[in-house]
Amino acid sequence: MNDDANVIGNPWDRLRQFTAARIALGRAGISMPTAPQLAFQLAHARARDAVHMELDAERLAGALSVELNLPCIVVHSAADDRATYLRRPDLGRMLDPAGRAALAALAPPAAPYDIGFVIADGLSALAIEQHALPFLRSWSGAATAMSVAPLVIARQGRVAIGDDVAQLLGVPLVVVLIGERPGLSSPDSMGLYLTWQPQVGLTDERRNCISNVRPAGLDVDAAARKLHYLVAEARRRGLSGVALKDDSDTAPVPIDETANFLLPVWSDTSVRPV
């Protein structure tokens, strides 16, 4: 029997073309139709798989080194395994002793680095495997003459592990690429977190975030342009976080400082109400 014949439609059905959200699914009696229910279970399974997926860090490091012509170092957070990482977020924010030793042993650069990139699996290694290299390729293709520290891949890493890495590398600005918490329509979303003058113990209001980097969200080229703007402004103004706004897509709007903001502004005075 055709299940569709038993589904009662929803008047919002035409809006589904504009969103991946689960709206206007209809109903079969008092229940959800079979097809949406199965689709929900599949999306939930994909999200769980993304959380537990292991990042092939060595393969990614090799690809990054060849493509970007930059050294790439693989380190590990203080969370020994995935189960510990999920239970103990604090351990994912710091390097383990071996990682600290590996970064501390690097030869100092002839001149200080301008920026460092840390790539962490986060809660979706899938996002990092799919988008980290294309994003960094786009970034480097239009990058200004900034000196970049060796790339660091952090297994079982949280955002704040970038502060630990940045202090050891001596960079004034760090960008963390990390797999974001999967949603039921986005198991492959990557986030970018920028921090000026990173140091261990900083809280998140000191960071800028560019979220939902993926083909179905913000594509890598658009994300690279946003990051270029934020990096340039962070270096120019010496700050990041809540004090630094992303105005890269906003045209300046003239403001009449004498106007009363409680009253509407009428562009045609001949039709102003009386």
DSSP string, 107-118: PPPSS--SBEEE
Of the candidates 87, 93, 90, 99, the residue with the CA atom closest to the CA atom of residue 51: 87
Average confidence (pLDDT) over 205-229: 94
Q: CATH for 52-243?
A: 3.40.50.11240
Q: Which of 29-43, 159-173, 242-256 has the lowest mean pLDDT?
A: 242-256
Q: Is 84's pLDDT higher than 80?
A: yes
Q: Where are the domains of the chain?
A: 52-243
Question: Is residue 165 scored above 80 in pLDDT?
Answer: yes
**Could you report the per-residue pLDDT of 120-142, keeping only the tens digit for each?**
999 999 999 999 999 999 998 76
Give me 227's structure tokens.
Answer: 């990051």
Instruction: Evaluate whether 165 touches 152 at the Cβ level (below 8 Å).
Output: yes
Q: pLDDT class for 61, splitting at 50, 70, 90?
A: very high
In this predicted structure, the answer to whether residue 50 has a pLDDT above a threshold of 90 is no
Lowest mean pLDDT among 77-91, 138-152, 200-214: 138-152
The first and second tokens of residue 216, run together, are 């179905």
Fill in the amino acid letter for 85: Y
Q: Residue 166 corresponds to which tokens in the numbers above?
A: 């940045």
Q: Which of 99 and 144 is assigned the larger pLDDT? A: 99
Q: For 38-42, 222-226, 258-262, which range has the lowest pLDDT when averaged over its residues? A: 258-262
Q: Are 230 and 244 in contact (CB under 8 A)?
A: yes
Write the DSSP symbol of residue 30: T
pLDDT of residue 268: 43
Highest mean pLDDT: which range of 14-18, 30-34, 47-51, 73-77? 73-77
Residues with Cβ < 8 Å from 256, sequence gap 6 or more? 265
**Does residue 226 register a pLDDT over 70?**
yes
**Structure confidence at residue 144 (pLDDT):** 64
The pLDDT mean for the chain works out to 86
* pLDDT tier for residue 267 given thresholds of 50, 70 and 90: very low
d(CA 81, CA 91): 10
Which range has the worst mean pLDDT, 12-16, 131-135, 142-146?
A: 142-146
Angle at 160 between CA 219 and CA 111, to 5 degrees: 85
Q: Read off the pLDDT of each residue in 156-182 and give the average, rounded to a whole number.
A: 95
Q: Specify the range with the lowest mean pLDDT, choosing from 68-82, 142-156, 221-235.
A: 142-156
Range in 98-107, 173-182, 265-274 the model is least confident about: 265-274
Q: Which stretches of 87-238 are assigned E, i.e. beta strand?
A: 116-120, 151-155, 173-179, 190-196, 207-213
Residue 106 CA neighbour count, 13 Å, CB half: 24
Q: Which position has the higher pLDDT, 251 or 161?
A: 161
What integer pLDDT is reported at residue 46 of this predicted model? 83
Say which residue, 128 or 24, is predicted with more confidence: 128
**AA letter at 264:** P
- Give the tokens for residue 159: 């955002």
Q: How far apart are CA 78 and CA 92, in angstroms?
A: 6
